[in-house]
Structure 1
């Protein structure tokens, strides 16, 4: 899916009227099947930009086109049709705690299923083999029938990524998908996403705190600061000087390490009093 932004401004709904726009004057073009990393300090507008591209946040000025179509001028049916073709994955996946992992992963299949099949899957998961294959690729094959509230933070993030693998979206917008993963898991998960996106011709835009990983894994990197585009360059051309300017007053984020391995979540053991 191709993305085009022309002089786009957007505002977060929670902003006060006197506050500046969250995103300001953005001009971008991302080709179909391209993989792009989005970097910048906290509060740069990375999440808002992903929401904008995902037709979840409307522009207040300028124009957004997805495959040449303006989602906000397509009517309710057209907007729903466009949204069925994309996956917007937040940093913390909204997974109901008592839900089974298999059901959480198969939620990505809902756009392809009828209402009857979707309801049936709540009682008896449909296509569990798809969920299992995605979870195995992410090292979670043994968690298929586990409850979500028994997973660690890193495992929940990987469940969120598994949704991308089982769905049929043409655009993946992934927000900080590695924040709770240790270095080895992060590198493996990112390589899997990139490899799968290339094989399927999926457009991938991922926001990353870990600059070194972004520069190593992506060929194109976009730098965002205070809602404005600082640079849009091939990764090989992103110099230390550009990074220093992008992260000025936020130098600690530039050197932020990947997460340490998490201890496994241990299910509580019931005690019986006699």
Structure 2
């Protein structure tokens, strides 16, 4: 991997990590479009550390409160009733599925899951499901504002309503991001919308939930960088990680403002169009679904 490649991939990582369009898929597709080797799952995991540091900085006040309250709750029963302490436990519970499945499916994550056909289907499928979830959430919000006159209406939830069950459901949705194309934020936000949370709450918890998973995954893959036979060296990886973090911070700020007043429709359309274009190019023989990778070699 050259320095130029690392800068471009870092930009792509930062631009796409927090949007519901899958950063891992875009890193893979960027390499294919440029004729570069697949950067691989290890590079993707380590580069995500940079964007996760951006989350730590952006939500630093929330994180300090949550960690402090959670630590206090370990020895103080009264502290366990506090919202921040409960949030700390919910994040831990929600992180379990992706941790277990990530280790169990490691060989698939680094191999078959990087097939462009699977990525294309993932982009389209979650795009459609996200559209349905967003529509569901919009109707729920409108009914809540109308005073709850509809019998089937349930109030739109905030993070204060987060239960252990909801945290676990969020975590199962996050685990779908092990497949490039599904998107960590897209999967968890979609799950949150179906659970009845408003967009900002779903996105906020999605970002907080990603912290343990991404940092653990990145740390786990550190030993894969710079190994003999690998085309990914430490220098370019560090550059990509730093660039991704800087760009990612700006994207978080923009995205949180965007979803406070807008729907996810632009991202839905983008996912479906991109996924469809990939399938068409593969069907026409223009694109090799295993391009740039070592799958099957």
Larger RCO: 1 or 2 (CA < 8 Å, sep 6+): 2
Same fold (TM over 0.5): no
Q: Which structure dedicates a bigger proportion of its chain to strand?
A: 1
TM range (shorter): under 0.3
Structure number with the higher helix fraction is: 2
Q: Name the TM-score, length of structure 1 as normaliser.
A: 0.25
State TM-score, norm by structure 2: 0.23
